[in-house]
């Protein structure tokens, strides 16, 4: 644990002991983010209604959802996380404490991602096409960042502006697959 940071002691458990697939969303915000008005309690109803088994709660630069009373329920599996970023955005799912970084310093971003991994987290790059210039420079300055990625968001349908964001994200993903 990192001293002086609230730590979420959550047991994510399992949804079912039987083999199978889970349906989920790795990029969900609550009213704790500037771009959402949905309280965490709203996801308790909304996620199962959409056929989702789990959601990553990834509020912008905030790690507060696991401390919300609505967290403790059984309708949907909430995965604690956050969306961090300045010019580039990335989600970290499975966090136990806040994971911040100096976004202008690729070495510090790498440090933050590695500390998050020590907490058992999963790293996801968000809407690359919206932040391609930032990410391309960060990957060039700190190539090890690519090795830390577990998930690459290739389609972000939430934003109306995503139509221009998605094709570059898909192209970058295809490029990574061919390496």
Q: Averaged over 98-117, what is the pLDDT?
A: 90
Mean pLDDT within 110-120: 90
pLDDT by residue (tens digit) across 71-94? 988 899 999 999 987 788 899 999
114 in Cβ contact with 147 (< 8 Å):
no
Band of residue 134 on the pLDDT scale cut at 50, 70, 90: very high
- Judged against a pLDDT cut of 70, whether residue 136 lies above it is answered with yes
Rounded CA gap, 179 and 174, in Å?
Answer: 9
Nearest residue to 112 (alpha-carbon basis) of 97, 127, 126: 97
Q: Confidence band (pLDDT; 50, 70, 90) for 6?
A: low
Convert the pLDDT of each residue in 20-44 to its tens digit: 888 999 999 999 998 889 999 999 9
């Amino acid at each position: 644990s990192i001293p002086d940071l609230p730590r979420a002691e959550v047991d994510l458990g399992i949804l079912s002991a039987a083999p199978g697939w889970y349906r989920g969303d790795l990029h969900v915000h609550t009213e704790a983010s500037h771009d959402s008005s949905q309280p965490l309690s709203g996801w308790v109803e909304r996620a199962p209604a959409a056929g989702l088994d789990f959601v990553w709660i990834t509020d912008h630069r905030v790690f507060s959802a696991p401390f919300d009373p609505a967290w403790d329920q059984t309708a949907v599996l909430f995965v604690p996380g956050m969306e961090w970023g300045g010019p580039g955005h990335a989600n970290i799912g499975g966090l136990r404490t806040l994971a911040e970084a100096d976004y202008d310093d690729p070495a510090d971003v790498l440090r933050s991602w590695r500390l998050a991994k020590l907490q058992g987290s999963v790293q996801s790059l968000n809407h690359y096409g919206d932040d391609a210039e930032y990410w391309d420079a960060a990957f060039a300055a700190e190539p090890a960042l690519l090795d830390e990625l577990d998930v690459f968001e290739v389609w972000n349908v939430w934003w109306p502006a995503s139509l221009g964001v998605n094709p570059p994200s898909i192209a970058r993903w295809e490029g990574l697959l061919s390496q």
